[in-house]
Amino acid sequence: MRLHVAEHPLIAHKLTVLRDVRTPSPLFRQLTEELVTLLAYEATRDIRTEPWEITTPVTDTVGRKLTEPRPIVVPILRAGLGMLEGMTRLLPTAEVGFLGLQRNEETLEAITYANRLPDDLSGRQCYVLDPMLATGGTLVAAIEYLFERGARDVTAVTLLAAPEGLRAVQEAIGERADVTIVTASVDERLNSKGYIVPGLGDAGDRLYGVV
């Protein structure tokens, strides 16, 4: 597993406002999108491209273009949905799949409640969107799900990661595949309720209001 902590003054600034308990949902959503676009830039550094012949107004030349099959972006419902717009802004031709995984708040284990993904993901570069890598249970379940469909190249984009979650992903995935985690921050720890500290609270609630 590779970890990339994206460091940039704009990321630090936006993340600080995002964490602030006084930041209301509309601003929280906007900042999430902006942060994800910045993270997407880092997350797509190894996206596959191939030579592509074009003609400019001046001459023929060879550039590069994203390879087929197209990359697939997989937001984890519900909070990952708040990251989709920010990701597809940079990757408009990506296919989008959905995975509904929810944490059981007592056992902290992930339960699959929805899935809309191609059956065959072999050879596809997959970008999983989940804002909070806390215990790692959800992300491990998501990655395993993608592996079952043949994916071997998975990049997870998260806003925050806890050391506990990073360890859990590392232990579960090992060297089995090419997994990269791109995050804006590795925070201190999890508290007894499984929240990231200092964190930003419940990302889903803050994006969409408490339901």
Binding mask 73-92 for ligand URA (x = CB under 6 A): ------x-------------
Per CB under 6 A, the segment of 106-114, 142-150, 169-177, 190-198 that binds ligand URA is 190-198
| # chain residues binding ligand URA, by CB under 6 A | 10
State yes or no: 131 annotated in a binding site: yes
Instruction: Report the chain's C-alpha Rg in angstroms.
Output: 17
Per rule CB under 6 A, is residue 199 in the interface with ligand URA?
A: yes
205 tagged catalytic: yes
Enumerate residues 42-71 that contact ligand URA by CB under 6 A.
none
Spatial distance between the Cα atoms of 152 and 144, rounded to a whole number of angstroms: 10
158 tagged catalytic: no
State yes or no: 202 annotated in a binding site: yes
Name which position in 139, 140, 159, 203 contacts ligand URA (CB under 6 A). Answer: 203
Nearer to ligand URA, 74 or 203 (CB): 203
Per rule CB under 6 A, is residue 208 in the interface with ligand URA?
A: no
Spatial distance between the Cα atoms of 33 and 170, rounded to a whole number of angstroms: 27
Instruction: Please tell me which residue in 23, 29, 37, 103 is annotated as part of the active site.
Output: 103
State yes or no: 134 annotated in a binding site: yes
DSSP 8-state class, residue 177: S
Enumerate residues 109-148 that contact ligand URA by CB under 6 A.
132, 134
Per rule CB under 6 A, is residue 184 in the interface with ligand URA?
A: no
DSSP 8-state class, residue 46: T
Per rule CB under 6 A, is residue 20 in the interface with ligand URA?
A: no
120 tagged catalytic: no
Burial 137-153 (b: 16+ CB within 10 A, else e): bbbbbbbebbbebebbb
45, amino acid identity? R
Listed as own residue / partner, the contacts of 26-33 with beta carbons closer than 8 Å and 24 or more positions apart are 28/206, 28/207, 29/82, 29/207, 32/82, 32/83, 32/86, 32/131, 32/159, 32/203, 32/207, 33/82, 33/83, 33/85, 33/86, 33/89
Nearer to ligand URA, 94 or 207 (CB): 207
Q: Which residues bind ligand URA (CB under 6 A)?
A: 79, 132, 134, 194-196, 199, 202-204
Residues comprising the binding site for 5-phospho-alpha-D-ribose 1-diphosphate? 78, 103, 130-138, 202
Residues identified as active-site: 103, 107, 202, 205
